[in-house]
Structure 1
Amino acid sequence: MNPVLHKIVETKHEEILQGRGKSLPPRKIPVRPWESHLKTNSISVIAECKKGSPSSGILRPDYHPVEIASIYESSGAAAISVLTDSQYFFGSLSDLTSVAEAVEIPVIRKDFILDPLQIDEAYAFGASAILLIVRILSPKDLTSLHQHAKGLGLSVLVETHNKNEVKTALDSGATTIGINTRDLDTFEIHKNLIEDIASELDSSIIRVAESGIESYADWQKYKGIVDSMLVGTYFMKSKNIAKDFQSLLFGN
């Protein structure tokens, strides 16, 4: 685990300790179906709301997640990912709630989840799905957290970075597997990873391409290989999200 990722995980453990015993708000919206939105006749889009990241810094100084999410929904996004980490990605749980209440498509809490408390938070603040990252979890914890989320009726996107992690994800019961082309140890993008891994997954698995997607050519490249693409930085750098959303899907 590289120093940045290690520091993020340390911070998460501190946040979990601080959150123990705090009451959570009652959930206000229904849990929305995830699988039926992602698995369609084409490649669906999970569009991401994130102000910045450790590798890129501030991506969108004028960041209004509800406004962005509304554009995503009207543009045809199947689901919305909301970064809730505050220290490294400049997000919050209030962003999650605001977006979940503003749209009618499923919203996933994207964070570094290590403990059932964070899943309980995701549920309380309106998420319909959560992200679990194989790289930062033991197989036992991955399975336990996956079962905890399912027990609340939440869907789970399990993120992987190589074939060994995919096997671990499948063993945990994962039915939606993300293939992240950004190596969390080096932050480098390995685009061929999608083709190498997705083609070996059973068609019953929802396959999600993550990171480095920024053009119509990428969209075309992944047709027939994945079911969905998670796109964040491309949109966050856009001056016209609605226009660039259509360009991603249909070309210029």
Structure 2
Amino acid sequence: MDILTTINEAKKQEVSRAKEYLDFKSLKSQCLDIPSPRDFSGALRSLVSQEKTTIIAEIKKASPSRGLIREHFDPIDIAQSYERSGAACLSILTDVQYFQGNPKYISQVKSKCNLPILRKDFIIDAYQIYQSKLWQADAVLLIAASLSQSQLEDFEGIALENGLSALIEIHAEEELKKIESLKSPLIGINNRNLKNFEVNIERTLALKPFIPKEKIIICESGIHDHDDIKHMRENGIYAFLVGESLMRQDKLDSALLQLINGK
């Protein structure tokens, strides 16, 4: 069993336990009291439309492939550093078991930072989208490799109805058919194969010709330095989701500025 399948199976158990604690009807009811989400898609579009380097900066303590990434981990401090240094949006890992994340990080960060926030997790049930709104996320990640076409359509619809942006993630050409009918302007191309964790940043450029020009392509995984950014920009890619390479830096402010500006 590959790691993506393993994580998705664990998610089914996690969601089942969550439903025992808070049933679907009660969850939906509680979501009615949550303030309107921030405009995640709009924050990206406003910069990409000007061909500016647009960073979704990730807050991630650990991963299954790399283990512990950042020992001294303060989500609020990290978020504020990212905001000061020009990040467009944030991505926050909420998976506890495999990434040492926590759903509480979203509301904690949101109270101290003005950037829109993506809940980075493995969505396999509509329940998790309402959860995301309750936890004050502004966007959700929908991974095409984990979901059927009908699930992608349903989950995207629920997200948009609740004011959440949906980041649609693909990795392989065979997933393109699944996402043709989706409305979201955000298409993330993950350079990491979630089945074996191999990374190749050329994956983004290989899939770019198949993505409608009106979509915003986000290059995910494998961006380590400004040269990687420059290479992608020269090929018409302006938005990036960056996690591990930033999380390993002691001085986040200067690291993000260096990544964006090259100096």
With the shorter chain as reference, the TM-score category is over 0.9
**1:231 — aligned with what?**
242
**1:212 — aligned with what?**
222
C-alpha offsets along residues 16-40 of structure 1, whole Å, 9 cap, x if unaligned?
1111151555555431112221122
| Other structure's SS at 1:218 match | helix
Q: What does 1:106-185 align with in structure 2 at a 5 Å threshold?
A: 106-185=116-195
Query: Structure 1: how far apart are the matches of 2:177 and 2:248?
Result: 34
Query: Structure 1: how far apart are the matches of 2:225 and 2:176?
Result: 26
Q: What does 1:54-73 align with in structure 2 at a 5 Å threshold?
A: 54-73=64-83
Please give the root-mean-square deviation of Cα atoms over the aligned residues, in Å: 1.5
Is the 1:128–1:155 contact (alpha carbons within 8 Å) kept by the matching residues of 2? Answer: yes
**1:242 — aligned with what?**
253
**2:99 — aligned with what?**
89
Is the 1:199–1:225 contact (alpha carbons within 8 Å) kept by the matching residues of 2? Answer: no
Identity %: 33
| Alignment length (residue pairs) | 251
Is the 1:180–1:211 contact (alpha carbons within 8 Å) kept by the matching residues of 2? Answer: yes
C-alpha offsets along residues 50-73 of structure 1, whole Å, 9 cap, x if unaligned?
100000001001111111011111
Change in Cα spacing, 1:101 to 1:28, as seen in structure 2 (3 Å) is: farther
**1:13 — aligned with what?**
12
**1:34 — aligned with what?**
40
Query: Structure 2: how far apart are the matches of 1:175 and 1:44?
Result: 15
| Other structure's SS at 1:209 match | strand
| Other structure's SS at 1:20 match | helix
Query: Structure 2: how far apart are the matches of 1:33 and 1:166?
Result: 25
Query: Structure 2: how far apart are the matches of 1:159 and 1:48?
Result: 16
| Other structure's SS at 1:171 match | coil
CA displacement at 1:186 relative to structure 2: 1.5
Change in Cα spacing, 1:100 to 1:190, as seen in structure 2 (3 Å) is: same
Query: Structure 1: how far apart are the matches of 2:198 and 2:224?
Result: 15
Code of the aligned partner of 2:169: E
Structure 1's unaligned 5+ residue stretches are none
Is the 2:142–2:169 contact (alpha carbons within 8 Å) kept by the matching residues of 1? Answer: yes
CA displacement at 1:150 relative to structure 2: 0.7
- Give TM-score, length-normalised by structure 1: 0.95
Is the 2:41–2:185 contact (alpha carbons within 8 Å) kept by the matching residues of 1? Answer: no
CA displacement at 1:251 relative to structure 2: 1.4
Is the 2:36–2:163 contact (alpha carbons within 8 Å) kept by the matching residues of 1? Answer: no
Structure 2's unaligned 5+ residue stretches are none
Query: Structure 2: how far apart are the matches of 1:166 and 1:74?
Result: 36
